[in-house]
Chains A and B, each alone.
Chain A
Amino acid sequence: GQQVMQIPQYQHVQEGEDFTTYCNSSTTLSNIQWYKQRPGGHPVFLIQLVKSGEVKKQKRLTFQFGEAKKNSSLHITATQTTDVGTYFCAPRSSNTGKLIFGQGTTLQVKP
């Protein structure tokens, strides 16, 4: 079945520094979703990417889907303490919609 690997598993940055997490699959994905989970919270939907080479921006967050649709990335510019949490990538099954989550990248931001 589909599996995705995320790197790094943990990242500590100083506030204001940039942050990137990578999501890699051995198989071609039809789409990828990204979720954020704050400490003690539940996953919250950020975005869905479906097209090869797609780039989407949400304020300081930039999401990319690789040309071969086997990888994706999330880049945060000038991190803030509110960015703290775990970021998950998750391909979505085309027929049932179930999500297959990666293990996530946990971001810590030092003020």
Chain B
Amino acid sequence: DTGVSQDPRHKITKRGQNVTFRCDPISEHNRLYWYRQTLGQGPEFLTYFQNEAQLEKSRLLSDRFSAERPKGSFSTLEIQRTEQGDSAMYLCASSSGASSSWEQYFGPGTRLTVT
């Protein structure tokens, strides 16, 4: 399967714990995005990487959130001191800068439940 993969698919954690999610984009896609989606809403942009550089962060991304993309391949999103309001689906997407349509390919998401 050459699509975007995310791990884990589901995560249940207690409030105050730290969690880390991983995203493996389509190989050779230099652009990688993280979004968060809650029930009944569209995905909300969190952050964007071009290769290994994090070029944009949403104001939604508090200082408890950090994302990395070492070597411009896979990316990780860490949430520290989780809160119940962090419960959501975390989606990763990648795109090729060479594509004229800039279409984004989404992974299956990681569903986070904070109890």
Residue ranges of A at the interface with B (Cβ–Cβ < 8 Å): 33, 41-45, 48, 88, 90, 92, 96-104
Residues of B contacting A102 with CB < 8 Å? 42
* Minimum distance in angstroms from A4 CB to a CB of chain B: 9
- The docked-state distance in angstroms from the alpha carbon of A97 to that of B108 is 20
Residue of A nearest to B95 (CB): A97
Across the interface, B107 reaches (CB within 8 A) one of A42, A88, A99, A100, namely: A42
Given contacts A33-B103, A45-B104, A48-B102, contact A99 B91 (CB under 8 A): no
Task: Decide if A96 touches B91 in the complex (CB within 8 Å).
Answer: no
Please state if A99 and B40 are interface contacts (CB–CB under 8 Å): no
A-B contact pairs, 25 of them (CB 8 A): A33-B101, A33-B102, A42-B91, A42-B106, A42-B107, A43-B43, A43-B91, A43-B93, A43-B106, A44-B106, A45-B101, A45-B103, A45-B104, A48-B103, A97-B33, A97-B48, A98-B33, A99-B33, A99-B35, A99-B43, A99-B45, A103-B40, A103-B41, A103-B42, A104-B42
Bound form: Cα–Cα A90–B45 in Å: 11
Contact, CB under 8 Å: B42 / A88: yes
In the complex the two chains form, what is the Cα distance from A88 to B40 in whole Å?
12
The docked-state distance in angstroms from the alpha carbon of A97 to that of B107 is: 17
- Complex: chain B residue closest to A47, CB-CB: B101
Tell me, yes or no, whether B69 is within 8 Å of chain A by CB: no
